[in-house]
């Protein structure tokens, strides 16, 4: 009877382990496919021609290298896991920074382009002809986005839908104002050159205000960075000076709780400072 009970228990445990492993495998496969699709979309939107499969493989290889090397150096599994997790999500964060920087560059280029477009319209050129001539002289990313817009139109996509695709690739208020002016003018008529000139003037004033705000809030942002890095540097300095006493911070449950509280308070402080210096224009 005992053997039968043990047999059923072993079968149950094996079945549960199989279900858990199978579920984790399916979840990992879905996450991998979703992440590769995100990589593909974000890279194509940024005009970066890199295979997302290679990027995924590079992320996995780098994560494994960081995990095992940090384990050899520090002998702490949780620290190795934290560092490996940071490295694993780093490509996604870098793609976000790349997209954000590209969007900011596009917004800075847009006012000058709109003034040139307004002048071309007053000279008698059509909208699409003026955009084509200005796209040849523009710089990236504005030139890339305008060239893609014109290429879509040559392939038979309606101009209104091409503008919607532009807003989807460049989701900023400046681009939405520009596209709205073109769509309203195409539907209702009106003096498009004056409308575009007013939008360009508004966007230029807005960029100047944003630059001034960034200059005034740069000190607060630097304080947030210093506040975040100073305790980390202090911990490693103390560990170098007195490794015996500081070892309790890495190897005991009390030390792990203290580290968790430090990380929580650090994140809370950075979040509060970011809310203070974040001024929407």
How far apart, in whole angstroms, are the C-alpha atoms of residue 267 and residue 151?
A: 45
Q: Rounded to 10 degrees, what is the CA torsion of 274, 142, 148, 123?
A: 140
Give the model confidence (pLDDT) of 155-202 as tens digits: 888 888 888 888 888 888 888 888 888 887 777 766 778 888 888 888
Cis peptide before 141 (omega within 30 of 0): yes
Which residues belong to CATH 1.20.81 in the chain?
106-207
Q: Cα–Cα distances in Å, from 76 out to 83, 145, 243, 252?
A: 11, 48, 14, 11
Domain 106-207 bears CATH identifier 1.10.3470: no
HSE value, Cβ hemisphere, 13 Å, CA-based, for 260: 7
DSSP 170: S
pTM over cut 0.75: no
Give the model confidence (pLDDT) of 220-262 as tens digits: 778 778 878 888 888 888 877 887 777 777 777 888 888 888 8
């Amino acid at each position: 009877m005992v053997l039968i009970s043990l047999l059923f228990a072993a079968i149950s445990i094996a079945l549960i382990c199989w279900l858990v492993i199978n579920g984790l495998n399916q979840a990992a496969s879905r996450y991998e496919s979703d992440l590769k699709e995100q990589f593909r979309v974000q890279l194509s939107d940024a005009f970066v021609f890199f295979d997302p499969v290679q990027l995924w493989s590079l992320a996995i290889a780098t994560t494994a290298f960081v995990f095992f090397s940090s384990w050899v150096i520090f002998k702490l599994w949780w620290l190795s896991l934290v560092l490996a997790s940071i490295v694993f999500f780093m490509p996604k964060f870098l793609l976000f920074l790349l997209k954000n920087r590209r969007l900011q560059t596009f917004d800075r280029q847009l006012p000058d382009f709109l003034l040139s477009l307004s002048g071309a319209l007053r000279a008698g050129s059509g909208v699409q002809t003026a955009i084509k001539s200005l796209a040849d002289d523009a710089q990236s990313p504005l030139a890339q986005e305008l060239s893609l817009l014109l290429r879509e139109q040559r392939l038979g996509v309606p101009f209104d839908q091409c503008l919607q695709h532009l807003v989807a690739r460049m989701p900023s208020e400046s681009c939405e104002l520009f596209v709205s002016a073109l769509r309203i003018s195409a539907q209702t008529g009106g003096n498009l050159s004056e409308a575009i000139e007013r939008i360009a003037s508004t966007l230029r004033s807005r960029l100047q205000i944003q630059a001034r705000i960034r200059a005034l809030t740069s000190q607060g942002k630097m304080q947030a960075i210093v506040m975040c890095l100073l305790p980390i540097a202090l911990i490693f300095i103390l560990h170098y000076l007195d490794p015996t006493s500081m070892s309790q911070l890495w190897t005991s449950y009390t030390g792990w709780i203290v580290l968790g509280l430090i990380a929580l308070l650090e994140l809370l402080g950075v979040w509060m400072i970011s809310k203070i210096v974040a001024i929407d224009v």
